[in-house]
Structure 1
Amino acid sequence: MSFQVREYVDPRQRPVFSYKGIPYATPPVGSLRFKPPVRDYGWNRTQRFDRFGPECPQLDVQGVPEPGVSEDCLTLNVWIPQVPDGFQRFPVVVFLNGELFWRQRASRYPLEELSSEDIVTVSVSYRTNLFGFFTLQSSAAPGNLGLRDQQLALLWVRENIGAFGGDPRRVTLVGFSAGAASVGLHLVSPQSQGLFQRAMLVSGSPLATWAHMEAGEARRIGQEVTAIMGCRSGSDWEAVRCLQDQDFMRLLTAAQRILESRGRFHPVFAPVTDSFVVSRDQFLPEDPDRLLKRGDFVKVPVMSGVDADDGVLLLYQYPGTDRLTFSNLTEVLRRVVIPRLMDQQGLTRRRALLTGVLSYRYVDTVPPGSQQQMLTSFVKIFSDAYFVAPLYSFLDLYARSGADLYAYGYNGEGPDIFGNIVSLPSASHGSELLYVLGPSMYRDLVGGTYGAVQQRLGQKLRTYWKGFITDGDPVRGRYGERWDRYTLDQARVPGPLGSGPQYETATWVLLAVLLLLIVGLLVAFLLTRRRRRLKSDMAYG
């Protein structure tokens, strides 16, 4: 694929060059709707790539269409730290984001500040919801289209990133939320092996219940879509042809209707095992936990972590939860949240005992009448069920391979990037990205001043990221810092991020002791010289 692009400098902070809205696939419209992506073979004329492409079809949390969406959305964006000179090659980051595989906006996450650290960065738009994960569990509608979009983008990077000064042999695949779950699925997908050399999973795991659907349920939902749209008669192939003729807004409305009918607790459109297609076309031949248990995955260095209050994402999914009274929140937790989460996790044995334990942990320990603390507990149960427990499951299985593995927990207070007005004592879902990705994202999503405190934290976090991206090690011995690898013998998630590394206090104490020792030695030396001089004067006197 050969092409020419004009170079446009992004004026914020250190100048970097940005190329936005580059197509990596043929628009998935008409007969290509609900089909695997087809690569775009480029053009032979000068093109302008100075603005983001349209986002893929999606609805906001209120079920309202996002503005400016289009099915012609399979584009990527590239930021480079300098004009390619044909000699220097920079490490590459491919960044994936997403919200429960239901919506995704690449333009929400500017990568220019990260690129200014001498990294070529790439963000990817891919299909979500019904357009990315509709399946009839047959070759007519195989599913996993959003993951296949990502895979084709990675192939584009391997073939073309050298023209931008990137090194295709040093690609780190970074994912946040559903993007992190996607990264985990690429780790175990046979088709993705060799497309990246390191991986980072930020607040997401391929073993989360929302990251993978049971095959039978996925087909039932697919059939429900065809019934709602009046496309159920005939074969699967005929049903898909009928759906390809439908207005995409009507399809989104049908998807929203199905989501609401299931109470948003269970995944509606998500990745599935696709062993029903021929082996060369399988993205996920078995459930991800089985592939991990068997060690059947690409063994690359991995860095993975969670935020203290990742579960706040559910407040974004359920608007109005923060306005419920203490008694209403208590009732919802006891009668709705705990039973449904237990169903999701398959906790059927000794159910009464487990219900009592969970009720005690998340409800009974909250002081009576404290609506704020009950809301915090509401967030905590979703954090544990959807993020923390799946992370530990992934870490334990991945650690068996012996590959380099680093884990973290981020607990620094910070604004919520999803706009929740709830004040929580710890990090919300994706809070560290406000600092890793720098002032641009902070100003766009939060507003206000990106001051000296934010700059110091941002530089610290970017140092960790850059260390892993360039060397496979997030900490390189600064002031005695250590970040031990996660192993089965040392299975813990440390908290080196946030207000500072856990070793930083000890480091400064050590420096203070050394300084006092040096001062003491200097004083002793000066006093000794003075005594000797006095003795000398007395001898001559």
Structure 2
Amino acid sequence: MKPRSRTGLVVALLTMSAGLLSGPAGATGGDVPTVVRTDAGAVRGTVTGELRTFDAIPYAAPPVGALRWRPPQPVTPWRAPQDATGPASACPQDANPEAPTGSTDEDCLYLNVTTPRKPSARPRPVLVWLPGGGFFLGAGSNYGPGDLVTRGDVVVVTVNYRLGIFGFFGHDGLPDSGTFGLQDQQAALRWVQRNAASFGGDPGNVTLAGESAGGMSTCAQLTSPGSTGLFAKALMQSGSCAFDWPANGQYPGQGAGAPWLPQSAVRQVGGEVSADLGCPGGAKALDCLRALPASEVVKQTLSFVSPAYGTSVLPENPAAAMRAGRFHRVPVLSGNNHDEARSWLIAFGDDRIDAAAYHRLVTDMVGGSLAPKVEAEYPLARYESPAIAWGAVTTDRIWSCNQVTTDRQLARRVPTYAYEFADRDSPLTRAFPGKVPLGAAHAMELPYLFSLGGAEFQFTPDQRRLAAQMVDYWTAFARTGDPNGPDRPQWSPVRDGVSGLSLAPAGQGDIRRVDLAAGHHCGFWGSL
């Protein structure tokens, strides 16, 4: 079986697309401690400006050798303070903008903790960030949470978890096939429960958050028995339990699907890949596979980008669990970007999409009998170009309305706040210039919350104000479960229908209340 191909630009956008007392020793920031004792040993971080940062803290033993494709195991305690002044390796993945040379280092189960420099009389809320990247790339250390930490007065933890074939491989000899990456996330959350207080955080006030695959992971953890009690709130950006896609909707020739697969399907792929790697079935197959170098195994990583259900980690499809109301009762903040699917236009020829191509793409996606209905709902005369029209069709069908579906299911049982990021001129659009404007495409909101890969992006004054308001919303939600506060418009929870906030700078409508279901034709898609 050959790995699925990915377009370079799409990969880049996906990537953009984590109680003991502190020890007094090692302080280099005046009286600010740079050594903190965890349950496994002390770590020595850095103090810079208004931040304390502790990178590359191990939360599980290296999953190497006999521990490859096993549940995360406890770390071996250490005596001397461990260096936590620089990031750990990204988990194994092909070369991409987050890991330009790729990675074959399986010793990657580390997290990073950033806190305000100034001490607090009360424990601070903790936000745990799961990076996106399609379940096959990404690294927690690429997300700099400085504004969230200093302006929002929270502790932020960013996490590495196993990806691709190392995180989601399936085999008949592995009881928890297809879930090792999700198990890593739970191990990181358990670490936070044990150690948050050492960094000034409140283990009883943890928000699990992520974007794209990180958002989908967050929704999966909402339905997983193993994450019970590990977080008090959930924040999903551009990823939900209901996420799925029709045939030819994300990429030409791609079949219909969803992020989640039954374990039997993941195991079947695992058997095929095992043979491709020279390890045929039988009692010794796993020994053979574990003996292979990571550099050989990673070549098949794109064959495993789907968490498996029908397991102890995910007993059922997260979409079905959400429909049935079988999820943890915590407040949720959930949203999308207005033009999500424009990130994928390049796969369809972007500026080469003319009226004839638009008709063909719609027909390929929904079939000849339904195509006229879709084209009537999305007439070309309404859009700047056929490419923009196709972007609207696929944004609504694949991203927005699936998020709306999950929001409705959540709102029946827990406080749920819905949003849409709508700045069509995000600084990331300048990083990916093209003939078709990206608008508020997938991942374009990330610079408003994080520095990415150490880069600080240039904002206009209106965008800087929007970024500050978003940080205030996000961190207020992490603190109380309610994003509201002074100096920003009121954000009401989802009631009947799905209304939420459109997050745009002044000049593009500013922050305002919108009907997300109506704006993205969700009634129409539901009728099909």
Same fold (TM over 0.5): yes
Report what 1:385 is aligned to: 397
The equivalent position to 1:156 in structure 2, one of 191, 194, 200, is 191
Match of 2:427, SS state, is coil
Change (3 A) 1:105 1:329: farther
Q: Which structure's relative contact order is higher, taking Cα pairs within 8 Å and 6+ residues apart?
A: 2
1:474 aligned to which of 483, 491, 499: 483
Match of 2:146 among 107, 112, 115: 112
- In structure 2, the residue matched to 1:460 is 469
Identical aligned residues as a percent: 30
What are the residue-to-residue correspondences of 1:91-170 with 2, within 5 Å?
A: 91-116=125-150, 117-136=152-171, 139-140=174-175, 142-170=177-205
**SS of equivalent to 1:407:** strand
The residue aligned with 2:3 is: none
1:5 aligns with 2:43: yes
SS in 2 for 1:495: strand
| 1:502 corresponding residue in structure 2 | 512
Structure 1 gap segments, 5+ residues each: 259-267, 276-281, 343-350, 505-541
Residues in 1 aligned to 2:76 and 2:119: alpha-carbon distance in whole angstroms? 22
In 1, the alpha carbon distance for the partners of 2:300 and 2:259 equals 21
Contact 1:83/1:165 (CA < 8 Å) preserved in 2? no
Q: 1:409 aligns with which of 415, 420, 425?
A: 420
The yes-or-no answer on 1:357 pairing with 2:385 is no
Cα deviation digits, residues 53-94 of structure 1 (max 9, x gap): 0001111469x9744551111100000102657x43111100
In structure 2, relative to structure 1, the CA distance for the partners of 1:493 and 1:454 (3 Å cut) is: closer
Task: Tell me which protein shows more strand as a share of its residues.
Answer: 2
What SS does the corresponding residue of 2:137 show, helix, strand or coil? coil
Task: Give the direction of change, closer, same or farther, for the CA distance of 1:321–1:72 in structure 2 (3 Å limit).
Answer: farther
What residue in structure 1 maps to residue 491 of structure 2? 483
Q: Residues 288 and 106 of structure 1: is their aligned pair in 2 closer, same or farther, counting only changes over 3 Å?
A: same
What's the secondary structure of 2:370's corresponding residue? helix
Superposed, which structure 2 residues align to 1:90-489 within 5 Å?
90-116=124-150, 117-136=152-171, 139-140=174-175, 142-209=177-244, 210-235=258-283, 238-256=284-302, 258=303, 268-275=304-311, 282-315=312-345, 318=347, 321-322=349-350, 324=352, 326=354, 329-330=357-358, 333-334=361-362, 336=364, 338=365, 352-361=368-377, 365-366=379-380, 373-401=385-413, 403-413=414-424, 414-416=426-428, 419-422=431-434, 423-424=436-437, 426-437=439-450, 440-441=451-452, 444=455, 449-476=458-485, 478=487, 481-487=489-495, 489=496
Q: Based on CA coordinates, which of the two structures has the bigger radius of gyration? A: 1
For the 8 Å contact 1:180–1:205, the answer to whether it is kept is yes
The size of the alignment, in residue pairs, is 457
- Quote the offset at 1:332 in angstroms: 6.2
Query: Contact 1:461–1:497 (CA<8 Å) still a contact in 2?
Result: no
Distance 1:329 1:374 in 2: 8
Q: 1:254, 1:485 → 2: CA distance?
A: 43
Is 2:82 the counterpart of 1:34? no
Structure 1 pair 416–285 and aligned structure 2 pair: CA distance change class (3 A): same
Cα 1:419–1:240 change in 2 (3 A) is farther
CA contact (8 A) 1:416 1:429 kept: no
Partner of 1:217: helix, strand, or coil? helix
Aligned partner of residue 416 in structure 1, secondary structure? helix
Contact 1:218 1:272 (C-alpha < 8 Å) held by counterparts = yes
Distance of 2:119 and 2:164 partners within structure 1: 37
> In the alignment, which residue of structure 2 is the partner of 1:75?
110
Gaps spanning 5+ residues in structure 2: where?
Answer: 1-38, 245-257, 515-528
Tell me how far 1:420 sits from its aligned partner.
Answer: 3.2
Q: Deviations over 1:429-485 (max 9, x none)?
A: 122221222xx439727x5x3453332221111111122111211123657x32221
2:310 match: secondary structure: coil
Is residue 442–residue 450 contact of structure 1 (8 Å, CA) maintained in 2?
no
Cα 1:84–1:232 change in 2 (3 A) is: farther
| Matched residue, 1:521 | none
Whether the 8 Å contact between 1:435 and 1:442 is mirrored in structure 2 is no
CA contact (8 A) 1:308 1:410 kept: yes
Change (3 A) 1:9 1:417: farther
SS in 1 for 2:404: helix
AA in 2 matched with 1:321? G
Asked if the contact 1:417–1:429 (Cα under 8 Å) also holds between the matched residues in 2, the reply is no
In structure 1, distance between residues paired with 2:483 and 2:84: 33
Q: CA deviation at 1:490?
A: 4.1
Query: Residue 305 of structure 2 aligns to which amino acid in structure 1?
Result: F
* Bigger helix share: 1
Specify the SS of the correspondent of 2:369: helix
Change (3 A) 1:308 1:160: same
| Contact 1:396-1:491 at 8 Å conserved across structures | yes
SS class of match (1:98): coil
Residue range with higher mean Cα deviation, 379-388 or 417-426: 417-426
- Where does residue 348 of structure 1 map in the other structure? none
Asked whether the 8 Å contact 2:310–2:317 carries over to 1, the reply is no
